[in-house]
Amino acid sequence: MAKAVHTRRERAAFKAACKAGNIPPEAAIEAPIAQRLKVEEFARSFPGIGPVTARKIVEACHIRDGRRVSGLGYMQGPRLVEAIKGCMTAKEDRQ
C-alpha cells in the first residue's frame, strides 16, 4: 500500500511540474513516470490543455483510446509532442 501511495504522489508531482511549465513535452515524454500514463492524461498535464483539447490531440495523432505513452509508435511520439507544443503556443498567443 505504501508503494502505491508513493507512486501516486510521484505521478502527481510529475504532472504538476509539467503543468507549471518546468518540464517541456519533449523531455517529459522520455521520463519513466510518463511511460505509465495514458496519452490523454499525459496531454492534460501541460498548461492550457484540458480534456477536450487532449481528446482532439489524441485523435489528430491517430492514437487509440486508452493507449499508454509507452505503447506509442515511432511516429506517434514525435507527433504527440509537436501537437502539445502547438497547443501550448496557441494558448499563450491568445493571452
Distance, in Å, from the CA atom of 31 to the CA atom of 3, rounded to the nearest integer, reads 19
Distance, in Å, from the CA atom of 65 to the CA atom of 55, rounded to the nearest integer, reads 9
pLDDT of residue 89: 77
Find out whether 58 and 39 touch, Cβ atoms under 8 Å: yes
pLDDT of residue 63: 96
pLDDT tens for 28-64 read 999 999 999 999 999 999 998 999 999 999 999 999 9
Find out whether 18 and 28 touch, Cβ atoms under 8 Å: yes
Residue 94 has pLDDT above 90, yes or no: no
Report the CATH number at residue 34.
1.10.8.50
Name the average pLDDT for the chain: 93
Range of 6's domain?
2-94
pLDDT of residue 26: 95
pLDDT of residue 1: 86
